[in-house]
A = this chain, B = another copy of it.
Amino acid sequence: MRTLHHWPLDPWSRQARIALAEKQLAFELRFERPWDAPEDLLALNPAGLTPVLVDETPQGRVVAVEARAILEYLEELKPEPSLLPGGPAERAEARRLCHWFDRKFDAEVNAYLLFEKLEKRLQGLGAPDMEAIRAGRDYLRWHLDYVTGLLDQRDGLAGPRYSLADIAASAHLSCIDYLGDVPWDEFPAAKAWYERIKCRPSFRAILEDRLPGMAPARWYADLDF
C-alpha cells in the first residue's frame, strides 16, 4: 500500500500527486493540516511538512519526504514514463526549473499570495496585508514573463518532453490560480502551456480540489478558460 500525506493547496503535495498519477501508480491520500502539527505527520517527518509518501513494498517500508525526494524516488521505482528528459543538459535544466519554482517562486509569490490570502485565514493569523498582496502580484507578473521567455525559446518549458519542470511549475501556479490571482490573459503563451497541462489526466484530481468555505476562481477547473 502507498499513502501520500498531503494538504490540497500545498504546491509540493501537488507535485507528488501529479507525479504519482503520471506514473500511473495507485495511492491513497491522507489529508493533513500541517500547521496543527499532527502527530502522525511529525512521526514521519520531524520537520512537520507535507508531502510524505509512505510506500509499503515487499522489500520494506519507504518513507519519502518532500517533493524532490518523492519525485526522484518515483523515477527510480518506475522509470517509465520518465519524468526527466533524456540528455544530461536537459535533465539539469528541468531540475534547475524545479528549484526556481520551489525556492524563488515560493519566496516571491507564495510567501505573499498563498500566505496572505489562504494560510493566514486558515491559521487565524489575521487579515491579509494588501501591500503584501500587491507585491506578490507584481512578482507573479515577473515570473509569468519569465515563463513566456522560456516558452518563446523552446518547445515546452524545459524542452519538448513533459517533465519535472512542468510538474513543479503547474503545481505552484495552480495554487495561485485557485485564488484567482493569475492574469492569464496578459500572458497568452503561458496560458496555452497551462491549458495543455490542465488537459492531462494527471491534473484532473488537482482541478477537483475544493477547500470548504473557499471556492476557487470560477475558471479554475475549466479546460478552456
Binding site for B on A (CB under 8 A): 45-47, 57, 59-66, 68-69, 72-73, 76-77, 87-89, 91-93, 95-96, 98-100, 103-104, 146
Contact = CB atoms under 8 A, between A and B. Distances in A.
A200 B72 CA distance: 28
B72 A95 contact: yes
A92 B65 contact: yes
A103 B66 CA distance: 11
A89 B62 contact: yes
A61 B46 CA distance: 39
B95 A57 contact: no
One complex includes copies of this chain to the number of 2
A146 B48 CA distance: 14
A38 B211 CA distance: 44
12 contacts: A47-B99, A60-B89, A62-B88, A62-B89, A63-B89, A66-B99, A68-B68, A69-B92, A69-B98, A72-B91, A73-B91, A73-B95
A96 B65 contact: yes
Contact of A100 (B47, B99, B146): B47
B47 A68 contact: no
Contact of A88 (B68, B73, B88): B73
Given A46-B146, A60-B89, A64-B96, 14 more contacts: A45-B96, A47-B99, A47-B100, A61-B89, A62-B88, A62-B89, A65-B92, A65-B95, A65-B96, A68-B99, A69-B92, A69-B95, A69-B96, A73-B92
